[in-house]
Amino acid sequence: MNKQIFVNLPVKDLDKSKAFFSALGYTFNPQFTNEQGACMIISEDSIYAMLLVEDFFKTFTDKQIAKAHEVTEVLTCLSCESREEVDSLVAKALAAGGKAPRPPQDHGFMYGHAFEDLDGHTWELAYMSGEPG
């Protein structure tokens, strides 16, 4: 059986979050999408983000929801095919209302950048071109 990962993230406004990630080119599985959450397809058959409205997200935990604009609860890193893909996704995120928490970082063998989505969740993007020198 192929392993899958479902990253569950609380969102304040599901429609705005869906529009934001749609602007980055992501699609949603309608079978697992309703008014309480949306299943964003990151990599077909293996990686998904469940965008869950906060009240529904709270049904899965007794802990407080982290205010991602104020604290870091997780850094989600996605691999990219090229430096251009990294830069393109960050540019799309910025155009859709996201923020870049820092400038891009070039380590020679690895190039990375990041964006924060509308709820403050940090998405790291990395392109690895070879072995560390």
Which domains are assigned to the chain? Answer: 5-128 (3.10.180.10)
Of 70, 69, 88, the closest CA to residue 78 belongs to: 88
- Model pTM? 0.90
Residue owning tokens 């403050």? 120
Report yes or no: 19 and 119 within 8 Å, Cβ to Cβ: no
With 60 as the cut, is the pLDDT of residue 128 above it? yes
Cα 15 to its chain centre, rounded Å, is: 15
pLDDT digits (tens, 9 = 90+) for 23-32: 999 999 999 9
Per-residue model confidence as pLDDT tens digits over 111-127: 999 999 999 999 999 99
Structure confidence at residue 81 (pLDDT): 95
